[in-house]
Amino acid sequence: MKNSEGEQQAAKRERGDGSLYLRGSTWWICVYVDGKQQRESAKTGDEATARKYLKNRLKEVHAHELDPAKPFLTQRARRRTVSDLMDALKSDLEIRSKWGPQTKTTSDHVTRAFGPMRATSLRAEDVDEYVKQRLAEGYAKATVNHSLQLLRQAYKLAELPAPKIRRLDDSDNKRRGFFTELEIRRVMSNLPAELADFTLFGWLTGMRKGEIASLRWEDVTGDELRLRSENSKNGEARVIPFEGELADLMERRKAARQFKVNGIPTFSALIFHRNGDPIQEFRKSWKTACRLAGVRRLFHDLRRSAARNMLNAGVAQATAMEITGHRTASMFRRYAIVAPQNVRKALKMTQEYTALEMAEATATVN
């Protein structure tokens, strides 16, 4: 389509001046930003009002030219919602193979909280209110920081000015929730069979909830199971051999693989399932089982417990990290808090050692 006469005239004017032209009965403006032409509707049929709008937009252009850190926002950018930004971030992370179940869950939290809001309208006060609410709901500071980090990334990717997004001090983010063997057995006894097996797998391996739910029979080779890299939070595949109670568990899951749909026998592709459907949320069942067992724990406490159990059993840290899927030693150490009885034992052993050393030294002198 050929440009209208007004648009042709606009193009002939000096770039720094900006220009007005009519499209039908509506005035439009034309300005140049970083050498690129930007056209947008003044959303008015009154020329004087349109000129005032052009003047204001030119001030924004000049402010950007003097300080490139001050962005010039197009009308399209002003219309984008936080949900739009999070969708764009998802596509970017998928392309870079950094999108996983945990990131999806965190991203969904952010989208539910801010999704419909215009990205340019989000205030620091809105973000702070979100932080307060999440902390009040019992979420750890590190979890809240992950949400805020994704929000920051979304704004950076969109090249939009972000509100002030604080970072919480999570240096004290040590995990305190642990199961004993007796406690977890009591919890499992109050869960349906498929959830009891699901829980036992987490207790024995320290695998994350979303990772366990993703496991499929095609991932099993002989007496080993391979967690795919795309289903692993750290993006790295890992192998879990069926040893001891894990072997018994997998035999039960093989027996439970078959289910019926309208009376027709069908086989589930998932190792852990509910009549063929993936196991997703089971908070109510978990809460009830914990209450009947007389404990208050999170499912994620299984992961912490498995990490500590492995170290207490003498498993090398590097091997334990390979099983649980921790990428860094610092993250693993947050889970591997030493139990008070082990501290007591360590102090006793140390004092016995120093006492023996003193006795040997005394015997040498005499």
Tens place of pLDDT per residue across the chain (366 aa):
445 555 444 444 445 578 889 999 999 888 888 778 888 888 899 999 988 888 888 888 888 778 877 777 777 777 889 999 999 999 999 888 788 777 888 899 999 999 999 888 899 999 999 999 988 887 888 889 999 999 999 999 988 888 999 898 876 655 567 898 999 999 999 999 999 999 999 998 888 898 999 999 999 999 899 988 887 776 778 888 888 899 999 999 999 999 888 889 999 999 999 989 999 889 899 999 999 999 998 898 998 888 888 887 777 888 878 788 776 676 666 655 555 566 566 667 667 777 787 788 777 766
Distance from chain centroid for Cα 17: 47
Report if pTM > 0.75: no
C-alpha distance from residue 94 to each of 100, 148, 150 (Å): 8, 19, 14
296: left (phi over 0), alpha (psi -120 to 50) or beta: beta
What per-residue confidence (pLDDT) applies to 252?
A: 95
Sign of the torsion angle spanned by Cα atoms 122, 126, 131, 134: negative
Instruction: State how far the Cα of 7 lies from the Cα of 56, in Å rounded to an integer.
Output: 20
* Residues 240/250, Cβ–Cβ less than 8 Å: no
Distance, CA of 351 to CA of 288 (rounded, Å) = 45
CA angle, corner 174, sides to 280 and 103, nearest 5?
A: 35
* Beta strands per DSSP E along 234-308: 238-241, 258-261, 264-267, 273-274, 277-278
Tokens of 212: 């366990």
The pair phi, psi for residue 336, each rounded to 5°, is -90, 50
3-state DSSP percent of the chain in helix, strand and coil, to 5? 55, 10, 30
Chain Cα centroid distance, residue 165 = 17
Separation between Cα atoms, residue 117 and residue 160, nearest integer Å:
14
Q: What DSSP letter does each residue of 347-359 carry, written as one string?
A: HHHHHHHHHHHHH
Question: How far is the C-alpha of 142 from the C-alpha of 174, rounded, in Å?
Answer: 10
From 274, 219, 228, 285, select the one nearest 250 (Cα to Cα). 219
d(CA 279, CA 112): 22
Nearest to 219 by CA among 194, 192, 196, 253: 253
Q: What percent of the chain has pLDDT over 90?
A: 37
Phi, psi of 182 (to 5 degrees): -65, -40
User: Contact 127/151 with Cβ under 8 angstroms?
Assistant: yes
Q: What's the chain's average pLDDT?
A: 83
CB-CB neighbours of 129 under 10 Å: 12
Rounded to whole angstroms, how far apart are CA atoms 275 and 307? Answer: 31
CATH 1.10.150 is held by the domain 79-158 = yes
Closest CA to 213 of 287, 104, 331, 306: 104
How many other CB atoms sit within 10 Å of the CB of residue 241? 12
CB 334 within 8 A of CB 175: yes
> What CA–CA distance (Å, rounded) separates 170 from 143?
9
Please report the pLDDT score of residue 160 as a whole number: 84
Name residue, tokens 């990772």. 211
**Residues 6 or more apart whose Cβ sits within 8 Å of residue 362:** none
DSSP state of 191: S
Question: Which CATH code is given to the segment(s) 181-335?
Answer: 1.10.443.10
Closest CA to 236 of 326, 164, 135: 326
Task: Judge contact between 22 and 33, C-beta under 8 A.
Answer: no
What residue type is assigned to position 192 of the chain? P
Which pLDDT does position 334 carry in this prediction? 61
Spatial CA neighbour of 38 closest among 22, 15, 12: 15
